[in-house]
Amino acid sequence: MVSLRLNDIAEKIDGTILQGVGSLSFQRFNIDSRLTEPGELFFALSAERNGHDFVPSAVKRGASGAVISKQLTLADKDIALIQVKDTLKALQELARKVLQEFSVTVIGITGSIGKTTTKEYTSCLLSQNFKVLKSERNFNNHLGVPLSLLKLEDDHEVAVLEMAMSSPGEIRNLTRIAPPDISVITNINPVHLQFFKSIDEIALAKKEILDGTKKDGTAVLNGDDALVRKISKDWKGKTLLFGLSEGCDVRAHSVQKNGWEGIVFKLVYGKLQDEVCLPFFHESALYNFLASAAVGYALSVPLDSLLTGAKALKPLSMRGVHLRLQKNIHLIDDSYNSNPAALESGLKGLAGLPAKRKIAVLGDMLELGKTEAEFHTAAGKQAAEQGWDILVAVGPLSRHMAEGALSAGMKKEQVFHFKDSEAAAEEIRSLVREGDLILVKGSRGIKMEKVVEKLKEE
């Protein structure tokens, strides 16, 4: 575990010690006073809420010190205070310099879809051969990445970091903090269009991870994604491709769906291959696995070790989890988030599963900008064209889904619309019958997990 004395921290972040003993040691670092544990160093960030207002609360919970940028007085002079110009930059700089003191291989993972899942799978596959640090939950931004790095321990060999963005320059900043030895781009799709003029701008923002990769590093790229291939043309380092096409170094072929057991396929791993069975139902999850396997290949993980790790893989919470309810009802909880490409993959991948009826409970997809109506209409059409029996559209934007489904041939009695997840949750049980397959998916702001919880209760 990182152990830094007050004097060392002040030096690394160009800060001034206002009070506290220079030899005081810190092993834990935090930005949320509500989660403070004894002995931590609290960074008072100034964002939507001023972190300086919560320093007393952090101290009350046991913090031994704080990094501040504004004038602050504490009655207890044993509590350390370091003053800096910018507490956020101080946090990031501390993490950057701490990383330099560790001999670890940094793996940076970005992409429009599947970052967190790929991060989790990569960590699982590599843990057969390495001591791995991974960013927790979705700690993937200018705060999460440095906080993750400050949990490094002496025996860590690999750091698997998710790197997300919602605007240009964000990934560039993350690679400045943690330059990747291996950079992964899972895919490029129309996500966060509210903040970009086009998908090409999204692609350029994702390219920042390649620009920030070490010169002797490796790029692990989706070989089936045209935009990924386009932005990587200028990359001069080593490249490994993953996907389903022939030219990929790590690929899946002879993919077969095995009902509720998942998928079976042949994994090509360089010059080797073997059969793999995974409890997933659609293509996007397969790509997440292939990206993770390609990282293993880049690090020379033996195929047998990789396959051992693969046996432990399963969908993450609220990301495609298969729940078997009473009366032979199958619920796919994919309520964590949604976007056009992920939704299309889910509708297509689940359509062929054995069930008496298929019910798609779909919430709004957010941050799509001016194209939001178009994408929602297309999603409704996809549900109809893939043979879903009932569409339950949830949220104000999802009315376009309902319209799309009706225009593609669904009958009025097959399409329902609710203003929010609470209303949908109250009515969903009356729509469900024995033997149904139910997909629940929507953006985080729509809170589709409320529908899932109601179905589980019933």
Cβ–Cβ under 8 Å, residues 279 and 332: no
Strands 65-68 and 357-363: unpaired
∠ at Cα 355 (409, 383), nearest 5°?
30
Confidence of residue 194 (pLDDT cuts 50, 70, 90): confident
Confidence of residue 384 (pLDDT cuts 50, 70, 90): very high
pLDDT, position 63:
97
∠ at Cα 271 (265, 272), nearest 5°?
45
pLDDT, position 311:
95
User: Which SS3 state, helix, strand or coil, does residue 127 take?
Assistant: coil
* 133 contact partners, CB below 8 Å, separation of at least 6: 104, 148, 149, 151, 152, 153, 156, 158, 159, 160
pLDDT, position 129:
97
Tokens encoding 205: 């923002």
Integer-rounded Cα Rg, in Å, for the chain is: 24
Instruction: Report the alpha-carbon distance of residue 437 to residue 66 in Å, rounded.
Output: 51
**pLDDT tens by residue, 90-127:** 999 999 999 999 999 999 999 999 999 999 999 999 99
Cβ–Cβ under 8 Å, residues 175 and 109: no
**pLDDT tens by residue, 8-58:** 999 999 999 999 999 999 999 999 999 999 999 999 998 778 999 999 999
User: Which SS3 state, helix, strand or coil, does residue 329 take?
Assistant: strand
Segment 329-346 shows an average pLDDT of 96
Domains of the chain and any CATH numbers? 4-86 (3.40.1390.10), 102-310 (3.40.1190.10), 321-457 (3.90.190.20)
